[in-house]
Amino acid sequence: MRNPFRPRDEELGRAATLALRLTAIILLLQPAPVWYLRPILISLAVLVVAVPAILRTPAAWGAMAILLAVRVVRLWPTPDNHHYLYVYWTLAIFLALLALRPGVVLGRAARWLVVGVFLWATLWKGLLSPDYLDGRFYRVRLLTDHRFAEATRLVGDLTAEQIEGARAYLKPAPYGEPNSQMPRLVESPGVHRLATFLTWATLLIEGAVALAFLLPWGRHTLVVRHGALFAFCGSAYAIAPVAGFGWILCAMGVAQVPDNRRGLLLAYVFVFLLLRFYLDVPWERFLLAIRA
Amino acid sequence: MTSSSEGDGHARTDSLLSSIPILLLCVVALHQVYLVHAQGLSPWKGGGFGMFSTTDSSQGRRLRVTVSGPAGEREIDLPDPLWGEASLASILPSERRLRALAQAIAANQRRQGSGPISRVDVSVSHLRYDPRTLAPQPVILREHSLKVEGRSPAR
């Protein structure tokens, strides 16, 4: 174990260095909502990005892990699941920087975290939830969640008014907004098909990512694991834009790439940026306009 | 120490260091499953990765407050200063949170001079959907009744 305050003098390795930089960028893109944590976290993240010696300092990452844990505890139980993942991941970076082979330790911790996240997500959808496998979750979600509204209009062949009516039916006051008209549920065959597709596609792809990272795949390991993670990030976040989750998955994916695979590292940077585009570019609205 | 045993020691240390984050994740996730089943935590919250798995999300829950007194029982709007506490109680409606909220509501009613009250009832519900028609049906997840005796609410 090394001194947590003294920067390591040897190189971390290209992949681990990129993973750490992306992590600091994520913290800059997702500022903490607690005022007394925000300036310290942003300052640490800026220093990590700007000063290579601080990037390799375990104490800087230990401090970030503690601050992110304080955020989760302070706001508990409201934080989203990826805010917990920020704590585990920055803790993994801190611990890896204390190790003699930081790149190896970080890659291993990243692998198990990806397995853990996707196994628990699959467990909830496949076993623990009472209303997922029968399709109810997505049938309701597609019609009530504003983030899905355009995909629902696009694929489900519904008008904005029909979605509004369905929302009032499924979320009657006081659960939703009061509606002066008698609410009516219009669930087109397209919505039903889309809900069935999303139900099974999500379960299968999340289970596939968990298995890809859990099992050894011999010489196909890189293709299977990173292909599964790219497929998940590239598809799931196009519909459900939770970029903060996708970005941390990218950072954990990068940490598992061998240093000599530059193309794969670049692919992760591309997916990282793609998630930002998903967040900002209303591509479903463009498609709706083209179709109209 | 020989270089071989030194190498084994380093490998063990590395293995331990890389295992700590996933162990922490599993402990938190197991605790979340317990809280969902024992205390009504929304599966979307608590670090168990149950997001996008159920219609019982934190935004879909509703907290209802009624107060009873000589004038009968009436539903009241949540006082503004208690919105934060109410939001937390609807995500995790544990006995402790609901009791604390009911006590705060009783104290608020007294401060506002809204007349004598003998009981505060707090309930948290969510909508359950019919598997075929999606007809929504409110289901009470947890509730707490606080008897208010004299000037200070009974615990």
Q: Convert the pLDDT of each residue in A230-247 to its tens digit.
A: 999 999 998 887 899 999
Residue A62 within any structural domain of the chain: yes
Which residues face B148 on adjacent strands? B153
Give me the pLDDT at residue B151, please.
Answer: 53
The pLDDT assigned to A178 comes to: 64
Total domains in the fold of chain A: 2
Higher-scoring residue by pLDDT: A60, B81: A60
On the question of pLDDT at B153 being above 80, the answer is no
What are the DSSP calls for chain A, one per residue?
---TTSPPSS---HHHHHHHHHHHHHHHHS--SSTTTHHHHHHHHHHHHH-HHHHT-HHHHHHHHHHHHHHHHHHTT-S-HHHHHHHHHHHHHHHHHHSSSHHHHHHHHHHHHHHHHHHHHHHIIIII-SSSTTSHHHHHHHHH-GGGHHHHHHHH---HHHHHHHHHHHS-TTTS---SS-------HHHHHHHHHHHHHHHHHHHHHHHHHHS--GGGHHHHHHHHHHHHHHHHHHHS--HHHHHHHHHHHHTTS-TT-HHHHHHHHHHHHHHHHHHH--HHHHHHHHH-
Q: Which residues contact A204 (CB under 8 A, 6 or more apart)?
A: none
Cite the beta strand spans of chain B per DSSP E: 62-69, 72-75, 119-129, 136-149, 152-153
The predicted-structure confidence for A33-59, as pLDDT tens digits, reads as follows 999 999 999 999 999 999 999 999 999
Whether residues A29 and A83 fall in one domain:
yes
Assess whether pLDDT exceeds 50 at residue B155: no
What pLDDT score does A234 carry?
A: 94
Residue A281, domain member (yes or no): no
In a shared domain, residues A87 and A147: no
User: Which range, A174-178, A270-274, A281-285, B79-83, has the best average confidence (pLDDT)?
Assistant: A270-274
The tokens describing B112, both together, are 């506002």
Q: Which two tokens mark A182?
A: 């008698």
Inform me whether the C-beta atom of residue A113 falls under 8 Å from chain B C-beta atoms.
yes
Residue A41 lies in a domain: yes
Edge-first strand listing for the sheet containing B62-69: B72-75, B62-69, B119-129, B136-149, B152-153
β-pairing verdict for B72-75 and B119-129: unpaired
Q: Residue B10: in which H helix or E strand, if any?
A: helix B3-39
| pLDDT of A155 over the 60 cut | yes
Domain co-membership, A93 together with A169: no
- Residue in B10, B33, B138 closest to A128 by CB: B33
Residue pair B48/B149 in contact by the 8 Å Cβ criterion = no
pLDDT digits (tens, 9 = 90+) for A169-207: 898 877 676 665 666 787 888 899 999 999 999 999 999
Q: Looking at chain A from residue 201 to 230, which residues have their Cβ under 8 Å from any Cβ of chain B? A: 202
Those residues with Cβ within 8 angstroms of residue A25's Cβ, 6 or more apart along the chain or in another chain: A45, A49, A247
Tens-place pLDDT, residues A66-85: 999 999 999 999 999 999 99
Q: How far is A2 from chain B (nearest CA, A)?
A: 12
Q: Which domain does A183 fall in, by range? A: 136-190
Phi and psi at residue B66, in whole multiples of 5°? -125, 145
Chain B residues within 8 A of A140 when measuring between CB atoms: 55, 129, 134
> Is A231 near chain B, with CB under 8 Å?
no
Question: What is the signed CA dihedral for B71, B77, B80, B85, rounded to 10 degrees?
Answer: 100
Question: What are A89-120's pLDDT values in tens digits?
Answer: 999 999 999 998 999 999 999 999 999 999 99
Tokens found for residue B51 = 């997001």
* Residue A287 domain-assigned (yes or no): no
The H or E element that residue B95 is part of is helix B95-111
Q: Which residue type, as a one-letter code, is found at position B47?
A: G
Tokens of A236: 């799931």
- Test mutation, A104, A112, A113, A120, chain B, max B CBs within 10 A: A120
Q: Do B129 and A84 touch (CB under 8 A)?
A: no
pLDDT at site A292: 73
How far B26 CA lies from chain A's nearest CA (Å)? 7
Query: Is residue A20 situated within a structural domain?
Result: yes
Domain endpoint, select from A98, A127, A153: A98
Number of CB pairs < 8 Å for A and B? 157
Confidence of residue A154 (pLDDT cuts 50, 70, 90): confident
In this predicted structure, the answer to whether residue B127 has a pLDDT above a threshold of 60 is yes
Q: What mean pLDDT is reported for chain A?
A: 91
Is the CB of A109 less than 8 angstroms away from the CB of B47?
A: no
Asked if residue A142 belongs to a domain, the reply is: yes
In this structure, is residue A205 part of a structural domain?
Answer: no
Residue of B149 and B28 predicted with greater confidence: B28
Asked if residue A260 is part of any domain, the answer here is: no
In the predicted structure, residue A137 carries a pLDDT above the cut 70: yes
Q: Report yes or no: A127 at the B interface, CB cutoff 8 Å.
A: no
Could you tell me if A94 and A32 lie in one domain?
yes
The interface predicted TM-score of the complex, written ipTM, equals 0.92
Calculate mean pLDDT across residues A254-262.
Answer: 96
Mean pLDDT, all residues of chain B: 90
Return the pLDDT at A180.
59
Check whether the bond before A178 is cis (ω within 30° of 0): no
Residues within 8 A of B (CB atoms), A 12-71 only: none
Which of A108-112, A180-184, A216-220, B37-41 bottoms out in mean pLDDT, i.e. has the lowest? A180-184
pLDDT band at A23 (very low <50, low <70, confident <90, very high): very high
- The dihedral over CA atoms of A90, A91, A94, A98, expressed in degrees to the nearest 10, equals -150
pTM metric for this prediction: 0.92
